[in-house]
Amino acid sequence: MRRRRALLGALGGVVAVAAASGAAAGLAGHGSGSGGPARLAVSGGYIPRPLLTDEAAAYVTVTNTGGTDAQLTSVTTPLAGHVTLHSTTGTTMRQVTSLTVPAGGRLTLGTGGDHLMLETLTHMPSVGERITLRLHFTHATPATVTITVPVRPTTYHPRG
């Protein structure tokens, strides 16, 4: 009996936390959250030169100095017919509809982790070429960020 009561108490706590965070997200979505809207900056982007012209990975880091989580929902680029968002867990990657940029944190895309997949390339990019990426976010200011990123050698890994 005592054990059951303890379990119910724990569950009650979980429900309360979920309800509280849901309310906070709702308020923030209307611009009145205590932490303010998501404020985004994109840096450190690059595209390893692909081996074939059907697809290439692209990596960026998105920093959120605001008080609300933002979601990266789509990306467009002159280099590709379309771009998909991929999330990696262990050695398994899957396509997702959005990637979260946490409030006060960052979304770091990188080799072996989450990434952008540029599909149906319009041409084979050369090392040193600069490629424009247009990233679209929800719950964020700005809602669209346009950056140009360099094409790096196929085996490139950033330091740090």
Residues at the contact surface with Cu ion, assessed by CB under 5 A:
86, 93, 117
Residue type, 54: D
* Distance of closest approach, residue 124 Cβ to Cu ion, in angstroms: 19
* Distance of closest approach, residue 44 Cβ to Cu ion, in angstroms: 19
How many CA atoms, within 13 angstroms, populate the side-chain half-sphere of residue 50?
18
Residue 131 near residue 125, CB atoms below 8 Å: yes
Distance CA(58)–CA(68), nearest Å, equals 25
Distance CA(46)–CA(121), nearest Å, equals 16
N residues, the chain:
160
Which of 86, 82, 84, 38 lies closest to 64 in space, CA to CA? Answer: 38
Closest residue to Cu ion: CB criterion = 86
Distance CA(144)–CA(70), nearest Å, equals 12
Nearer to Cu ion, 28 or 80 (CB): 80
* Distance of closest approach, residue 153 Cβ to Cu ion, in angstroms: 20
Nearer to Cu ion, 87 or 141 (CB): 87
Nearer to Cu ion, 39 or 86 (CB): 86
Nearer to Cu ion, 86 or 136 (CB): 86
Nearer to Cu ion, 37 or 48 (CB): 48
Distance CA(39)–CA(52), nearest Å, equals 36
* Distance of closest approach, residue 117 Cβ to Cu ion, in angstroms: 5
* Distance of closest approach, residue 115 Cβ to Cu ion, in angstroms: 6
